[in-house]
Amino acid sequence: MSTARLTVVHAKYTLLETARVPIAIIGGLVFPALSLLFFVVPQRAVADDPVFASQAVISLVVFALLANSLFGFGLNISEAREKPWDPYLRTLPAPALSRVLGQVFSTGLLGLASILPVIVIGALLTEATADLWRILVGLGALAVASLSFMFLGISIGYSMPSKAAIAVVQVVMFGLAFGGGLFLPPFLFADWLNALSQFLPSRQAREFVIWAVQGGELEPWVWVGILLWTAGSLALALVLFRRDEGRRYR
Amino acid sequence: MTTLATLDNVTRTYGDVVAVDDVNLSIESGTILGLLGPNGAGKTTVISLLQGLRKPSRGTVTLFGGSPADARNRVLLGSTPQETALPATLRVGEVLDFVGSHFASRAPTAELADEFGLDRLLRRQTGSLSGGQKRRLSVALAFVGRPKLVLLDEPTTGLDVDARRTLWDALRSQHERGATIVVTSHYLEEIEALAQRVVVMGEGRVLADDSLVGVLDRVGLARVRLESGQLDRVATLPGVDRVDEASGTSASFFVRDSDGFIVSLVRSGIDFRGLTVRGATLEEAFLSLTGGARAAAGARTAVRTTPSSTVKES
């Protein structure tokens, strides 16, 4: 069996398992869309301004993917580590790559599903607007910028039991979301908060996607920050992954 | 007869604990091999080394001519998850299909369901199955890929007598169709019912590697308990393997032939009281093979469940 086909198989059954508890998916789908409906759409000063409305939609799209990555990877991995089903899957003739990619694709698909309602509501109920090719470039930028979210989620999953992971994922998610200007736009921030915010991957992701969709100047701290966070969180995830192999066998 | 898997001088340690100590084992096609030993003997570690889940600290593990860590060498391998491991939200049929999709040639779901008594359960989520049903599904998963070699770690632990026999029948019929099976157990009864060749492990070492009959001779001990003022004379009677003195006047004697021992006890004219005879637990029998002091600790915590030599997790 080819790695690609087995990747699809693992993604399919991971999705199926998740889909059997529909509230898990609905929560991810609904929360960013509701945030847009309640906090942006009624604020006509923002919603009627094409630039601000687009930025608000982009912020919530980044938030949707942030939440999806932290929950999808953090919780799934920490739960799987507590169950003996995962070691059993490793005895099947599937390379490790197809199991990891299967998880990435299934979580990615749910992430894609969670940003669609935000984009649709944004297009229908606000003045947010962008060319189609700009939206596609923006999705690409979003994928790049959320790599660090994924690695952070993986790190949380491998470093703690699931009960701790639920709490940590929420704290990290809301901390990054508020601090990164995903709920409140950064121009409302105090100077010190704005300065702090520029070190957060969520803020960098927001600015990066806004740049991809709306054009303009890309500040160096944005792309340097994304590179550093991606490399740092990848290194952390790899270290924890290796350490976990040792610990599980003891 | 071809060699399917081997362990060459394999040692595996976990920190300071030596789980498997310089083990040599060769698994040839066509047999049901019983891996027998008390808890902590290293049976599960041997299985997980063969599955590629663990790497040996020293020595070489070979599966179908290569490393078990390489997925391609596991195509003809079947193994079972622990019963608690099944993904609770997936249906029985889905779990069979999920595992089956890893294999080029797979047994049809209906065929397996029929053989392992799962045909009415295919639409049920695994979380709703009883313990015995989960066990049957777990064992069925080992056979989905039409494997040449099947590794079963304690396949019937926790099953009642009927369920155990049903599962044994399924295993025997799979064996007749060509699967080589390695089954670990601490139930002597289970090994007797299934195995042709038996490897006895204790404290990480292979203590015996013999035919079923050969091993039964060595571990099938009876425990005779009695009170007497002349325990030292009783201990010199023929057939006494080991003595476990409880107090000055009472002791347990481990013998291979309890009938013969009692006949010679009576003939010797030694005065005795309170005679009881029962099958020795596997842990007690292992003391005769190891003579180790550490196994004695295991023997004291062993709980007997049935009149034959079965022990329960303690």
Q: Which tops the pLDDT comparison, A146 or B300?
A: A146
Looking at 3.30.70.270, 3.40.50.300, 3.40.50.720, 1.10.3720.10, the CATH number of the domain B3-217 comes to 3.40.50.300
d(CA B169, CA B214): 24
Residues in CB range of B168: below 8 A, 6 or more apart: B156, B190, B193, B194
Residue B14: which of B64, B54, B69 has the closest Cα?
B54
Give pLDDT tens digits for B56-103. Answer: 999 999 999 999 988 889 999 999 887 568 998 999 999 999 999 999
Write down the pLDDT at residue B303: 34
Given a cut of 50, whether residue B311 has pLDDT beyond it is no
Residue B79's closest chain A neighbor by CA? A91
Window 23-52 of B: residues touching A by CB (8 A cutoff) are: 51-52
Q: In what order do the strands lie in the sheet with B250-255?
A: B240-245, B250-255, B222-227, B273-279
Task: Report the mean per-residue pLDDT for chain B.
Answer: 84
Write down the pLDDT at residue B290: 63
Structure tokens at A21: 């508890």
DSSP code, position B89 = T
Given a cut of 70, whether residue A248 has pLDDT beyond it is no
Residue from the list A20, A87, A250 with its beta carbon closest to the beta carbon of B15: A250
d(CA B97, CA B177): 22
Q: Where are the domains of chain B?
A: 3-217, 220-312
Whose structure tokens read 């404290």?
A: B203
Mean pLDDT lowest among A176-180, B6-10, B260-264, B282-286: B282-286
Residue A66: which of A136, A146, A158, A154 has the closest Cα?
A146
Task: Report the mean per-residue pLDDT for chain A.
Answer: 89
DSSP code, position B101 = T
Give pLDDT tens digits for A73-112. Answer: 998 888 888 888 888 888 898 887 888 888 888 998 999 8
Percent of chain A with pLDDT over 90: 54
Given a cut of 60, whether residue B2 has pLDDT beyond it is yes
Rg of chain B taking only CA atoms, in angstroms: 22
β-strand partners of B197: B33, B211
Partners of residue B141 in chain A, C-beta under 8 Å? 88
Do A94 and B102 count as a contact with CB atoms less than 8 A apart? Answer: yes
Give pLDDT tens digits for A31-57. Answer: 899 999 998 899 888 889 999 999 999
Residue A250's closest chain B neighbor by CA? B14
Residue A11's closest chain B neighbor by CA? B98
The count of residues in chain B is 314
Q: Which of A3, A82, A85 to mutate to test the interface with B (most CBs of B within 10 A)?
A: A85
Burial state string for A138-163 with b = 16 or more CB within 10 A and e = fewer than 16: bbebbebbbbbbbbbbbbbbbbbebe
Do B89 and A94 count as a contact with CB atoms less than 8 A apart? Answer: no
Partners of residue B104 in chain A, C-beta under 8 Å? 1
Do B79 and A249 count as a contact with CB atoms less than 8 A apart? Answer: no
Asked if residue A201 lies in contact with residue A226, where contact means CB atoms within 8 angstroms, the answer is yes
The minimum CA-CA distance between A154 and chain B, rounded to whole Å, is 20
3-state SS, residue B204: coil
Residue from the list B53, B94, B104 with its beta carbon closest to the beta carbon of A91: B53
The verdict on A4 touching B (C-beta cutoff 8 Å) is no
Q: Which of A6, A81, A91 to mutate to test the interface with B (most CBs of B within 10 A)?
A: A91
Q: What is the domain count for chain A?
A: 1
Mean pLDDT lowest among B41-50, B87-96, B150-159, B209-218: B209-218
In chain B, beta strands by DSSP E: 3-14, 17-28, 32-36, 58-63, 77-79, 149-153, 180-185, 197-202, 205-211, 222-227, 240-245, 250-255, 273-279, 303-304, 311-312
Given a cut of 60, whether residue B302 has pLDDT beyond it is no
- How distant is the alpha carbon of residue B185 from its chain centre? 2
Residues in CB range of A143: below 8 A, 6 or more apart: none
The verdict on A184 touching B (C-beta cutoff 8 Å) is no
Given a cut of 50, whether residue B308 has pLDDT beyond it is no
pLDDT band at residue B307 under the 50/70/90 scheme? very low
Given a cut of 50, whether residue B297 has pLDDT beyond it is no
Partners of residue A4 in chain B, C-beta under 8 Å? none
Write down the pLDDT at residue B176: 92
The verdict on B53 touching A (C-beta cutoff 8 Å) is yes
What's the distance, Cα to Cα, between the start and end of chain A in Å? 31
β-strand partners of B253: B224, B243
Domain encompassing residue A196:
3-248
Do B80 and A88 count as a contact with CB atoms less than 8 A apart? Answer: yes
The verdict on A97 touching B (C-beta cutoff 8 Å) is no
The verdict on A21 touching B (C-beta cutoff 8 Å) is yes
Partners of residue A95 in chain B, C-beta under 8 Å? 71
The count of residues in chain A is 250
Q: Counting one residue from A and one from B, how many pairs have CB atoms under 8 Å apart?
A: 71
d(CA B302, CA B312): 7
Residue B95's closest chain A neighbor by CA? A13
Write down the pLDDT at residue B187: 79
The string of DSSP letters for B117-163 reads T-TTTTTSBGGGS-HHHHHHHHHHHHTTT--SEEEEESTTTT--HHH
The minimum CA-CA distance between B112 and chain A, rounded to whole Å, is 18
Given a cut of 80, whether residue A121 has pLDDT beyond it is yes
pLDDT band at residue B156 under the 50/70/90 scheme? confident
The type of residue at B251 is A
Give pLDDT tens digits for A216-226. Answer: 889 999 999 99
Looking at 1.20.930, 3.90.660, 3.30.70, 1.10.3470, the CATH number of the domain B220-312 comes to 3.30.70
Residue B81's closest chain A neighbor by CA? A88
Percent of chain B with pLDDT over 90: 36
Q: Which H or E element spans position B307? A: none
- How distant is the alpha carbon of residue A26 from its chain centre? 16
Whose structure tokens read 């080589």?
A: B180
Q: Which of B102, B123, B149 to mutate to test the interface with A (most CBs of A within 10 A)?
A: B102
Structure tokens at A91: 């005895």
Q: How far is CA B20 from CA B12, B14, B28, B66, B198, in A?
A: 5, 10, 21, 21, 17
- How distant is the alpha carbon of residue B125 from its chain centre? 30
Supply the ipTM of this predicted assembly: 0.77
Residue A28: which of A85, A82, A66 has the closest Cα?
A66
Write down the pLDDT at residue B291: 58
The type of residue at A3 is T
Structure tokens at B243: 């003595």
Residue from the list A9, A87, A92 with its beta carbon closest to the beta carbon of B74: A92
- Count other C-beta atoms under 10 Å from residue B71's C-beta: 21
| Four-residue CA torsion sign, A13, A18, A19, A20 | positive
Angle between helical axes of A50-69 and A132-145 (0-180°, round to 10): 40
Partners of residue B148 in chain A, C-beta under 8 Å? none
Give pLDDT tens digits for A168-209. Answer: 999 999 999 999 999 988 988 999 999 999 999 999 999 999
Q: Which tops the pLDDT comparison, B237 or B62?
A: B62
Asked if residue A180 lies in contact with residue A225, where contact means CB atoms within 8 angstroms, the answer is no
The minimum CA-CA distance between B89 and chain A, rounded to whole Å, is 6
Give pLDDT tens digits for B8-36. Answer: 999 999 888 899 999 999 999 999 999 98
Given a cut of 60, whether residue B314 has pLDDT beyond it is no
Asked if residue B299 lies in contact with residue B284, where contact means CB atoms within 8 angstroms, the answer is yes
